[in-house]
Structure 1
Amino acid sequence: MLEKIDLSKKMSKNECKDLMERLTPQLSLLQREMPKRGVPVMIVFEGFGSSGKGTMINELIQPMDPRGFKVFTIQRPTREEAMHPYLWRFWTKLPENGRIHIFDRSWYTKIVEDRAEGRRNREKTENCYNNILDFEKELTQSGMLIIKFFLHISRKEQKKRFKVLESAEETRWRVTEDDWKHNRDYDEWLKAFEEMIQKTDTDFGSWTIIEATDREYAKAKILSKVVEIFGAWLSEAERKAKAEALSEEETQKIFGASVLDAVDLSRSLSKTVYKKKLKELQGRMELLHSEIYRQRIPVVIGFEGWDAGGKGGAIRRLTQTMDPRGYEVVPTAAPNDF
């Protein structure tokens, strides 16, 4: 797939300038609209070394209000980060509603690197990509907008850019022996990137391939895509808001009562039966908790319900025979404005 992409695409500076004069005010306006809708946005940049990720991120943010975005450069995990599950450090970087977070490399980087260097087999890679798909799907279902760009250049172009960087004293440090090794192993990296795109190009997180040989062309395509996606999202949000603007009475008339209305709240147990079942189940819970702890299986149990619905009492009965060293009760209050 990637080897068939035409990397010779170009755009003249005048043509790019004319397009930017139309795109930049649109992007600026759309960015100001996103916080009003409360939508969080994550924009991911992946690609070959020296494909221009930093340059393109800089071009993208120029029309934006700097108070509305943050750029993250993803390096190797710190010691603390390495002690947590792989995606933990990306969960901690999620944008608030109305904010835009831009990633120079992302949760894909480590997997692609390990794959290209032969440190991860196909089965482990498959599991990692499945975890990432779950991560992205959960975020988008919660209202997150995810935009993913892959910047593509040829082996020849990458080598040329490395040499240009090395020719100047002030930029020589940016090219390492690892960079030259990646260029020599370009075909392996190409396969790893292609696998990444094939496994994770979805309706909720599709990839846009950027032919990054020509700077003007790459810049124009990236800004055009962001404007297109922002505009489409806002239009769809407005359409949904109008379609969903039904009163509670109209909703019940059209769709019937809610699932909660169908719950039989008259069901009960006698005290004798209740005490017998409670003792049996608590004994079973004690054994299961011990086994869960032994196997180091993480478990989260969520309680929701009306005020005074009995959540606290249910939690006390559940944990009564459990070892207190193996669980924690976390009360969650309503979220604040921050």
Structure 2
Amino acid sequence: MIMIKSIAKLILALSISTLPVVTPAQQKPVRIGIAGLSHDHIHGLLGRKEKGDIVIVGIAEPDSGLVERLAKRYGFDKKIVYSSIDEMLRSTKPEAVMAYNDIFGHLEVVEKCAPRGIHVMVEKPLAVSVAHADKMAKLAKKNNIQILTNYETTWYGSNTEAYKVVNEEEQIGEILKIEFHTGHQGPVEIGCSKEFLAWLTDPVLNGAGALNDFGCYGANLSTWLMKGETPVSVTAVTHTNKPQVYPNVDDEASIIVQYPYNQVIIQASWNWPYNRKEMKIYGQSGYVFCRDTENMTVFKSKEKKATDKAAPALNEDRNDAFSYFARVVRGDINPQPYDLSALPNNEVVVKILEMAKKSAENGKTIVWKEYFK
């Protein structure tokens, strides 16, 4: 009897060991819809090398001229293009949608997708206002969908390594101050498309100018580094240094985000002489300086020297927005609340940005507990 049981166990073990293992690459690609083509970050998706993890089944874009230009450049079939989000969703039934429209339009995308159980990823920032973000969050919860926000800096190996040095290895002690220098020469100056500029420089469709466009990076990264802690207050100064180019929005924003025991300073600008997304984290016993995607400097007081290093590459499932989104849709990755792409993090981001706008408009510090009673 014992021998029979042993043989049965052996047969069961062998049968399990020979079952095929389905890797992400072997899964069916996630059926992706695109809402809008007017955001210039769309080039990253349309020009992406085929990995087999996603397939674009539909595009919603009413601008036929824009569609014609991008179809010629990237070779997608114009038969999958529809004039409205509703039509695209009905006809192609995507599993998930990526939004490349104006920021004001993010809410509409979620309103169309959420009741159908379709996951959404938007380009940064999440929304133009707290009111929009709140509606989106309620729809996500009601319909059990993911709403992710994509930032270029999420896929920087240097930022992930900085988090490890600061929060996991605790090499520089408690965070005292974080500084962000983000932006470039200006969207006009670097040659953004006319369709992108039409809403990026609109105070309603973008919510602000440089303040929203580049202030969101610092708010996002600091919320992650501080593990979701909310600030005590926000103080901001904005200005338009080039009114002849940007008559309707700010092109310069300095934001001070004060926490109980530390401070974040965000300098968001369309007036830098070069493209920069730099972060400096100062701790009690050292600092970490992230210059770009991989190059960084770590200084530890006890060693009395700074060490330059190249951050290791990110794992393949977390090295670009599209692979990550596909894994989330498939259930292989469950974003933690204050991960860089996660909804709770980006709700805090929108609150910080809105407080910054109010502070700049009123010329005074905005207190979190008073503003969000």
User: TM-score, normalized by length of structure 1?
Assistant: 0.30
Greater share of strand: 2
Bigger RCO of structures 1 and 2 (CA < 8 A, at least 6 apart): 1
User: TM-score, normalized by length of structure 2?
Assistant: 0.28
Highest CA radius of gyration, 1 or 2?
Answer: 1
Greater share of helix: 1
